[in-house]
Amino acid sequence: DAKTTQPPSMDCAEGRAANLPCNHSTISGNEYVYWYRQIHSQGPQYIIHGLKNNETNEMASLIITEDRKSSTLILPHATLRDTAVYYCIVRARSSGSARQLTFGSGTQMTVLP
Amino acid sequence: DTAVSQTPKYLVTQMGNDKSIKCEQNLGHDTMYWYKQDSKKFLKIMFSYNNKELIINETVPNRFSPKSPDKAHLNLHINSLELGDSAVYFCASSHRGQFNYGYTFGSGTRLTVV
């Protein structure tokens, strides 16, 4: 699975959009971009994933560049409860074996009041 | 209804003991996982298991063994506990044919070896 690079930390003002970047310059054609987050003392939580088109769900939007070498997770209106470590993971989607999800160090995002 | 539940939530034990952590999922998933999160907060995969395949991370000591009595359960047995085993252990599950929701994680078991 391709490696990802994320800034170690960032702040966001409450009520503003949070934009979390991720670089995955070695991504291959069959690999998806997944985003998870881990709020303090909780298990990781799935947010969103995509292949090449932009995606949106009730939690966030995912913008993937045309060359797929980077992506941005957008939380449209950040709240204090969005303070967490955000992980960007690139992984091939497999319907076969028990594929494993590999976490990097992520971005600690702090939402400030 | 808790989707992935782990017990116990906290576990304090002495070096050399043998302990188990239980995990159950009620999502109908066919694959389950164990992750370890150390004091530096890195999440590392330990095992992944479905009814056909067990994948073991090569860095996991053989004192750790997963046991799956059925598709809804994947327990973690640890023999001869060491101080370095202190960490938070997370169980997770997924379904090979359903990719829209990713993995579902439990709330973790904080293991402290003294």
Query: Which residues have CB under 8 Å from B94's CB, separation 6+?
Result: B29, B31, B33, B102, B103, B104
Reduced to 3 states (helix: H, G, I; strand: E, B; else coil), residue A7 is coil
Subunit contact A95:B44, Cβ cutoff 8 A:
no
Answer whether A1 touches B (CB < 8 Å): no
Whether A13 contacts chain B with CB within 8 A: no
CB distance A43–B92 less than 8 Å? yes
The Cα B45–Cα A66 span in angstroms is: 31
Render pLDDT for A34-93 as a digit per residue (tens, 0 to 9).
999 999 989 999 999 999 989 999 999 999 999 999 999 999 999 999 999 999 999 876
User: In the structure, what pLDDT confidence band is assigned to residue B98 with cuts at 50, 70 and 90?
Assistant: low
- For A35, the closest chain B residue by CA position comes to B102
Residue B2 pLDDT greater than 60, yes or no? yes
